[in-house]
Structure 1
């Protein structure tokens, strides 16, 4: 993506309802609920 880190974080904050979080060991990983949404973002 051709954007800075701050802008990307702001966009993600607006998309939190489309993300699911998983704890793996001591890390939190986010993923999209549905691959079609990921395709739409691309």
Structure 2
């Protein structure tokens, strides 16, 4: 039972780390689009 619990915790930890990286990348993409929109509106 301990092995199953440890495996579940490991998978959950890896999933949360991957989710953080995905959200961080998405935030950078949105920021980049916003900057391009600002540049276009200044022209």
The structure with the larger Rg is 2
Structure with more strand by fraction = 1
Higher relative contact order (CA 8 A, sep 6+): 1
